[in-house]
Amino acid sequence: MQNTLKASVTFDGVGLHSGKPVRMILKPASAGHGICFRRTDIALGNTMVPALWDRVERTPLCTRLVNASGVAVSTVEHIMAALAGCGIHNVMIDIDGPEVPIMDGSSAHFVRGIMQKGLRRLGVPVMAYQMLKPVTVSQDGATATLLPSNRLTIEFHIDFAEAAIGRQSKTLDLRNGSFARELCDSRTFCSRSDVETMQANGLALGGVPGENAVVFDGPQVESGTGLRHRDEPVRHKMLDALGDLSLAGGPVFGHYIGERAGHSLTNTLLRAVFATPGAVRQVSCDAAMTARLPGQGLVWAEIPTDARRVA
C-alpha cells in the first residue's frame, strides 16, 4: 500500500552550495499525489516542482529539479533517497529556498525525522516501474545500467585517484530496511582540490569538512569523528543512486549498476529507459511485490544513531 507521513516534519539547515539557511517541511499528502517540492519563498507563479526525472536539469554536482516556470530546487538526492528508503510515496515538501539543507551530508537526519513521525497507510496499491529489458548509457568512461529484476538491487563501482578512496565496490538488495541499516548515514565526499575549485566558482559555500562532507586530501581524510564505514564513499554513491532512481515517479524493480556514474548519468539512464519501447512497464504492486519494496522491514533500532569510528 502507498504511504505518507503521519505528521509534518521540519528540517532546518544550510544549503551545501549556497551556504544559506533553509527550512524544509515534509507534509502528509494523499494517495497518487507523489513527491512534490513547493518553494514557499516565492510569492507568485508556479512554485510547485514535482520530483520527476523529466524535470531534472543535468548538472555534475547535484540533482537539480526545475519546473516549466524556471523555479528550481537543488540537491534533492539525499531527501529523495530517505523517502524511498523509508517507503514514503506521497509527500508535499515546502522549502523556503533553492536548495535542500545538507544536514550532515547523508540521509540519516531525514530517515530519523521521518521514522519518528511514522508512516500512514493510504489503502491504495503502490505503482512501481518494472524493468523488462536491459538499458545502458555511457559517458566519459562512466556507465549506468538497469537490468530486469523482481526487486531493486543497487550495485556500484568507483575508482578514485585519492589513495584513501581507491577502488570500491558494493552490491545491496534494497529490502528489509537495508537502506537505513547500511547506506543512510554515508556522507557526501570530495577531494580537497574539488573544494577549492567549487569555492572559487561560488559553490560549496556551506561545506564544512568533517561536518557535512568528507574531504580526501592525499592520505589525509577530514571526516569529523572518523569514517562511518570503511567504504563510506561507495555507500554514498549508492545512496545518491537510490535518490536519483526514485525520480522515476515510483519504486523501480530492477538491478542498477553504476560504474563511476553520477547524478547526471543516472538521469540520462532514466531518460533512456523511458524512451526505449518495451524497456519498462508500470505495475500495481500486489502483496508479494510490496513486501520487496525498499522501506519494508525497516526497524527503528537499526537506524544509525551517530557517527561511528571504524578506522
Query: Is 259 a binder of Zn ion (CB under 5 A)?
Result: no
Provide, rounded to whole angstroms, the least separation between the CB of residue 128 and Zn ion.
24
Provide, rounded to whole angstroms, the least separation between the CB of residue 174 and Zn ion.
16
Cell numbers placing 181: 541499516
Q: H/E element holding 3?
A: strand 3-5
Cell numbers placing 184: 543512510
Stretch that binds Zn ion, among 120-128, 174-182, 239-247, 296-304 (CB under 5 A): 239-247
Between residues 28 and 105, which has the closer beta carbon with respect to Zn ion? 105
Which of the residues 89, 109, 229, 263 is marked catalytic? 263
Provide, rounded to whole angstroms, the least separation between the CB of residue 243 and Zn ion.
7
Query: Is 240 a binder of Zn ion (CB under 5 A)?
Result: yes
Stretch that binds Zn ion, among 28-36, 141-149, 237-245, 301-309 (CB under 5 A): 237-245
Between residues 94 and 240, which has the closer beta carbon with respect to Zn ion? 240
Question: In 3D, which of 89, 113, 103 has the Cα closest to residue 4?
Answer: 89
The letter for the amino acid at 237 is: K
Q: Is 121 exposed, middle or buried (0-12, 13-18, 19+ CB in 10 A)?
A: exposed
* C-alpha pair distances (Å), 196 with each of 17, 200, 201: 13, 6, 9
Is 240 annotated among the ligand-binding residues? yes
Label residues 233-266 b or e (16+ Cβ within 10 Å = b).
Answer: bbbbbbbbbbbbbbbbbbbbbbbbbbbbbbbbbb
Strands 152-159 and 167-173: antiparallel
Half-sphere exposure of 115 (CA within 13 A, CB side): 25
Question: In 3D, which of 123, 189, 144, 182 has the Cα closest to residue 162?
Answer: 189
Query: Is 63 a binder of Zn ion (CB under 5 A)?
Result: no
Spacing of C-alpha 273 from chain mean position: 19
Q: Is 263 a catalytic residue?
A: yes
Is 255 annotated among the ligand-binding residues? no
Provide, rounded to whole angstroms, the least separation between the CB of residue 251 and Zn ion.
20
Spacing of C-alpha 227 from chain mean position: 20
Applying CB under 5 A, what is the total number of residues that bind Zn ion? 2
Between residues 2 and 107, which has the closer beta carbon with respect to Zn ion? 107
Between residues 145 and 188, which has the closer beta carbon with respect to Zn ion? 188
Which parts of 173-192 interact with Zn ion (CB under 5 A)? 188
Between residues 19 and 134, which has the closer beta carbon with respect to Zn ion? 19
Annotated binding-site residues read 78, 236, 240
Residues that bind Zn ion (CB under 5 A): 188, 240
Annotated binding-site residues for Zn(2+) read 78, 236, 240
The catalytic residues are 263
